[in-house]
Amino acid sequence: MAKKKAIRPRKKSVSKPVAVGPAIGGAAKAPEFLVIHSHLDKAVERLDQMQARAKAGTSPKKRVAKKTTTPASIRQSSQKTSVPSSRPGRTASRSPVLIVSGEHSGDLLGAELMTAMQRFGFTDFFGTGGDAMSDQGLTVIEHIRTMNVMGFIEALQAWRRLKELALRLVDEAVQRHASLAILIDYPGFNLRLAAMLKERGLEIIYVVSPQVWAWKYGRVHKIKKLVDLMLPLFDFEAEIYQREGVTAEAIGHPMIHRLPRSARKEGFLPLASGNPARTIALVPGSRMGEVSRLLEPMLQAACLLKADEQNTRFLLPCADAALLPFIESWTKKFEDLNIEICVGQTARVMQASDLLIIASGTATLEGVFFKKPMVILYRVSWLNFALAALFMRVRYIGIVNILARRQTVLELLQSEVSPANIYHEVNRILTDADYRLAMLQEMNYVRRQMGSGNPAANAAQRIVDFVQGRSG
CA distance 428 to 351: 21
Counting the structural domains of the chain, the total is 2
Beta bridge pairs of residue 314:
280
CATH of the domain at 243: 3.40.50.2000
Contact between 377 and 412 under an 8 Å Cβ cutoff? The reply is yes
Q: Is residue 54 part of a domain?
A: no
Is a pLDDT exceeding 80 seen at residue 93?
Answer: no
Summary mean pLDDT of the chain: 79
Structural domain span for residue 174: 76-252+453-470
- The residue ranking higher by pLDDT, 166 or 348, is 166
Strands 355-359 and 278-283: parallel
Closest CA to 232 of 218, 212, 252: 252
DSSP character for 244? T
Question: Contact at 8 Å (CB) between 378 and 294?
Answer: no
Same-domain status, 234 and 351? no
Distance of CA 89 to the CA centre of its chain: 32
Average pLDDT over residues 235-256: 92
- Model confidence band, residue 86 (pLDDT cutoffs 50, 70, 90): very low
Reported pTM: 0.67
Which tens digits make up the pLDDT trace of 46-58? Answer: 545 555 554 555 4
Query: Residue 267: which residues within 8 A CB-CB, separation 6 or more?
Result: 348
Let me know: does 59 contact 53? Beta carbons within 8 Å: yes
Mean pLDDT for 347-351 is 89
Are residues 215 and 105 both part of a single domain? yes
Condensed to tens digits (0 to 9), the pLDDT of residues 393-434 reads: 667 778 888 888 888 999 999 889 999 999 999 999 999 999
DSSP state at residue 395: S
Q: pLDDT band at residue 319, thresholds of 50, 70 and 90?
A: confident
CA distances from residue 151 to 35, 41, 288, 361 in whole angstroms, order as listed: 12, 11, 15, 19
Report how far apart the first and last C-alpha atoms of the chain are (Å, whole number): 74
Q: In this model, does residue 22 exceed pLDDT 70?
A: no
Q: 305 with 320, same domain?
A: yes
pLDDT digits (tens, 9 = 90+) for 183-241: 999 998 999 999 999 999 999 999 999 988 777 888 999 999 999 999 999 998 999 99
pLDDT of residue 160: 84
Strands in 312-318's sheet, in edge-to-edge order, are 340-343, 312-318, 278-283, 355-359, 374-378, 411-413
State pLDDT tens for residues 127-163.
999 999 999 999 999 998 888 665 555 666 778 889 9
Are residue 188 and residue 266 in the same domain, yes or no? Answer: no
Let me know how long the chain is.
472
pLDDT at 147: 85
DSSP string, 252-274: --HHHHHHHHHHHHH-PPPPPTT
User: In angstroms, rounded to a whole number, what is the distance separating the alpha carbons of residues 322 and 343?
Assistant: 10
Asked if residue 65 is part of any domain, the answer here is: no
